[in-house]
């Protein structure tokens, strides 16, 4: 597979929906596209976005989702459409969707993933020494990311999974994924990509656990609601631990003082979505009674980001694209601490495109308050054997 095309990135800030989609199309369109991927502000008219995407990209697989903010060529943004196109010269893609997430059955998800793998194998049969990865975009209010990501990765085997949960700019009303020419809720879209290009999956997190332990003593796991912590009303006990009044709990409080669960030597953020009127806390991630959480504190976010990007630059070379799935609470923390310019400089230097999420998926695990993604390098130079 010779590299003839390139990954193209584009973004539109046009306020008119049709104009925004047309500008996006003009920026990413190229000959023989394997896939178009876009991230769309919920301020745009979904029906018009769907119509224009289908009209402008006939015969091309196009997938996308709604956001809580976009990441594009200029950095962090809102009220925009951003995304990329992948050339057939370097990528083979197969797209599939899973509906009715509320009735999710792991066995059916695994069967679906096996069918998609078979399709990829057949479609990529002419590729020499390919490797690949899976992209997952899912309804961010479905509360089904954990079993979905786990079942997919179990069936995909060595093909690593990366993804993000669709968002709706903190309205917490409806989130959508786009496939087959229209937007869907209670659904997920899965893309398997094969490429000879070098790539690197990553999960970046700058929080470390403290010794302060909080035990979930009453919960509603199906709805990710914690009713009691340490035998006391959850919001009250959490507020006491971070030194504020319950009435002062806001998304910024949750961003600055997250809770983590420690498994082995790895910590995973269990981010709080909201404090509720009944004294409970709603989380972005799975919780259960008996779960031991620890209060975490952040290390230098910018330094952590620089080191992480430097590491995969050293491994695969300067990336022509970094797909980034960035948690909404991480985004809030960056703004709260005045780090936007420093983070955006890193994003621009590494060709980051992506969106602000309600959760991230990394190799079958649903996580929060992280930046997950995949860095894709340029084509390796051909060796002259003459």
Give dist(CA 278, CA 233) in Å, integer.
Answer: 9
The three-class DSSP label of residue 108 is helix
pLDDT at 298: 86
pLDDT at 380: 59
Residue (of 213, 268, 262, 216) closest to 241 by Cα position: 213
Contact status, residue 331 vs residue 69, Cβ threshold 8 Å: yes
Give dist(CA 254, CA 3) in Å, integer.
Answer: 45
Q: Which tokens belong to 167?
A: 């968002």
- Would you give the DSSP letter of residue 348? H
Q: Would you tell me how many other CB atoms lie within 10 Å of the CB of residue 371?
A: 27
Q: Which tokens belong to 326?
A: 């960035």
Query: Which residues 6+ apart lie within 8 Å of 276 measured at CB?
Result: 225, 235, 282
Contact status, residue 60 vs residue 28, Cβ threshold 8 Å: no
Contact status, residue 293 vs residue 213, Cβ threshold 8 Å: yes
Helix-then-strand count for the chain, H and E: 9, 26
Contact status, residue 38 vs residue 53, Cβ threshold 8 Å: yes
Give dist(CA 136, CA 148) in Å, integer.
Answer: 10
CA distances from 210 to 129, 214, 258, 262, 314 (A): 45, 11, 11, 11, 32
Q: Would you tell me how many other CB atoms lie within 10 Å of the CB of residue 23?
A: 18
Q: What is the enclosing helix (H) or strand (E) of 194?
A: strand 188-195
Give dist(CA 99, CA 102) in Å, integer.
Answer: 9
Give dist(CA 314, CA 317) in Å, integer.
Answer: 6
Q: CA-CA-CA-CA torsion for 240, 360, 49, 113, nearest 10 degrees?
A: -140
pLDDT (tens, 9 = 90+) of the chain, 386 residues, equals 334 569 999 999 999 999 999 999 999 999 999 999 999 999 999 999 999 999 999 999 999 999 999 999 999 999 999 999 999 999 999 999 999 999 999 999 999 999 999 999 889 886 544 589 999 999 999 999 999 999 999 999 999 999 999 999 999 999 999 999 999 999 999 999 999 999 999 999 998 899 999 999 999 999 999 999 999 999 999 999 999 999 999 988 998 899 999 888 788 888 899 999 999 999 999 899 999 999 998 899 999 999 999 999 999 999 999 999 999 999 999 998 999 999 999 999 999 999 999 999 999 999 999 999 999 998 754 444 33
Where do we find the tokens 């507020």? 239
Q: CA-CA-CA-CA torsion for 362, 363, 364, 370, nearest 10 degrees?
A: -10
Q: What is the DSSP string of 234-255?
A: HHHHHHHHHTS-GGG--HHHHH
Residue (of 37, 221, 209) closest to 146 by Cα position: 221
The three-class DSSP label of residue 54 is helix
Q: Which tokens belong to 286?
A: 């799975």
Q: Which tokens belong to 3?
A: 């590299």
Domain boundaries, the chain: 8-204+303-377, 207-298
Q: Which tokens belong to 97?
A: 């969707």
Give dist(CA 344, CA 309) in Å, integer.
Answer: 13
Strand partners, 66: 40
């Amino acid at each position: 597979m010779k590299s003839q095309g390139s990954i193209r990135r584009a973004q539109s800030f046009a306020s008119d929906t049709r104009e925004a989609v047309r500008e996006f199309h003009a920026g990413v369109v190229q000959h023989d596209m394997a896939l178009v991927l876009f991230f769309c502000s919920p301020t745009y008219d979904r029906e018009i976005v769907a119509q224009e995407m289908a009209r402008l990209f006939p015969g091309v697989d196009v997938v996308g989702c709604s956001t809580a903010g976009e990441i594009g060529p200029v950095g962090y943004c809102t009220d925009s459409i951003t995304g990329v196109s992948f050339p057939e010269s370097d990528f083979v893609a197969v797209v599939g969707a899973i509906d009715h997430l509320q009735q999710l059955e792991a066995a059916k998800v695994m069967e679906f993933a096996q069918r998609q793998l078979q399709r990829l194998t057949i479609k990529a049969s002419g590729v020499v020494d390919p490797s690949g990865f899976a992209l997952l975009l899912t309804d961010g209010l479905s509360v089904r990311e954990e079993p979905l990501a786990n079942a997919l990765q179990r069936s995909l085997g060595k093909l690593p999974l990366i993804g993000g949960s669709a968002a709706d700019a903190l309205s917490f009303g409806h989130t959508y994924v786009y496939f087959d020419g229209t937007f869907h809720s209670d659904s997920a879209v899965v893309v398997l990509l094969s490429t000879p290009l070098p790539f690197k999956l990553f999960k970046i997190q700058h929080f470390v656990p403290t010794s302060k332990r909080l035990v979930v003593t009453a919960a509603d796991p199906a709805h990710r609601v914690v009713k009691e912590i340490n035998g006391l009303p959850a919001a009250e006990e959490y507020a006491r631990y971070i030194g504020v009044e319950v009435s002062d709990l806001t998304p910024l409080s949750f961003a600055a003082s997250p809770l983590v669960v420690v498994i082995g030597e790895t910590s995973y953020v269990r981010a709080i979505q909201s404090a509720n009127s009944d004294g409970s806390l709603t989380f972005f991630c799975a919780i259960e009674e008996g779960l031991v959480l620890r209060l975490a504190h952040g290390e230098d976010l910018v330094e952590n980001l620089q080191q992480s990007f430097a590491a995969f630059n050293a491994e695969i070379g300067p990336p022509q694209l970094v797909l980034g799935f960035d948690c909404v609470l991480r985004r809030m923390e960056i703004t709260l601490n005045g780090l936007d310019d420093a983070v955006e400089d890193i994003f621009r230097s590494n060709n980051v495109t992506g969106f602000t999420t309600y959760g991230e998926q990394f190799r079958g695990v649903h996580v929060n308050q992280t930046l997950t993604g995949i860095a894709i390098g340029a084509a390796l130079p051909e060796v002259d054997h003459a």
